[in-house]
Amino acid sequence: MPTVRPVRGGAYCPVVTFFDKNEDLDIPAFVKHVVWVADGGMDIVIAGTNGEAAHLTHPERAQLVKAAREALDAAGHTDTVIITGASTASTRETIQFAKEAAEAGADAVIALLSTPFASGLISNRAAIKQHFVDVAAGSPIPVMIYNYPVAAAGIDLDSTLILELAQASPNICGAKLTCANMGKLARISSITSQPAFKKQYPRSSGADVPFWVGSGYSDFLYPSILGRATGCITGLGNVAPTVIAELFKQSVAAVSASSKDLTASTQELQDIVAAADGALAATGIGGTKYMLSKLRGYGGIPRRPLPAFNPAGGPALEEQLAPILALEKQLSANKAPAQNGHAVNGA
């Protein structure tokens, strides 16, 4: 199995998947984009919700991971972490996805309990817990819990269950909370960030590796770091990776320094990111691909039945994103390609 990098604190981008006019994978565009995002200072999530995982076959997911790992290594980003989606309706197939991801070069998988049988599971806490315990036991690489009730037919993992899973399974490396529940995040991180927790429940990838906790958005990244989150996974990184990486670094510094000036500048940056995150998220994957076509010369459209973005809405979206895009241009012009930093909250 290839080298496995630990999932440490930081900002991660769930990259979109690109297709040609025949809806086949556009690997050249994909690897170009992955390297550009890593140049901005973000780690990578492949074949997540934002990457149209539901539209990808097993071989396609593995192909994307392998291509990304090779491109990142060739570009000098040998430390960049790759997490890949393994969500499916059955425990058995989720484990199979995890094994294939590991073989392809992923460092961890992220798993959502996505099932048409949610009505029979939603009140069966034991069955939900056993699913994640079994996936973690069967996966050769760490597993991140993905809590996104909208995409899981209403299944919403509470903080108590996530903490139970963190204690029960050393191979569960963290939790992405796209439920965007700040209280849940704070309850989890208040426990998992403690030295006593790390000592009693070390992760499988190392005693010094934290239990990763973060939101699926960047619109409250700074407040979440105040709440002892370890990062975020945000689709906004597809168009402004340098800004997101900078917000993460500033947030960590502001929490540590207790400087009024740094706090104010971090809040100003958070305000820009929050506005842009809301605008881009409202347009879905199609909107992200539209903007990438404008900004980077690649993008295309989603696989059917997901609709393309209506270009009539383009001028309004571009206007809403203008502040963050101007900042992205400014920051990226003033820095060399980043080596992704991970130190946060004891990581």
Give the architecture-level CATH label for domain 10-242: Alpha-Beta Barrel (3.20)
**Is there a catalytic annotation at residue 176?**
yes
Write out the chain's pLDDT in tens, 347 residues: 788 999 999 999 999 999 999 999 999 999 999 999 999 999 999 999 999 999 999 999 999 999 999 999 999 999 999 999 999 889 999 999 999 999 999 999 999 987 767 677 777 889 999 999 999 999 999 999 999 887 777 788 999 999 999 999 999 999 999 999 999 999 999 999 999 999 999 999 988 899 999 999 999 999 999 999 999 999 999 999 999 999 999 999 999 887 778 889 999 999 999 999 999 999 999 999 999 999 999 999 999 999 999 999 999 999 999 999 999 999 999 876 544 444 444 44
> Does 233 belong to an annotated binding site?
yes
| 296 closest CA partner among 80, 1, 33, 44 | 33
**Is there a catalytic annotation at residue 129?**
no
Q: Are 302 and 285 in contact (CB under 8 A)?
A: yes
Which of 12, 148, 176, 201 is catalytic? The answer is 176
Burial 127-166 (b: 16+ CB within 10 A, else e): ebbebbbebbebbebbbbbbbbbebbeebebebebbbbbb
Which of 12, 146, 148, 201 is catalytic? The answer is 146
pTM: 0.94
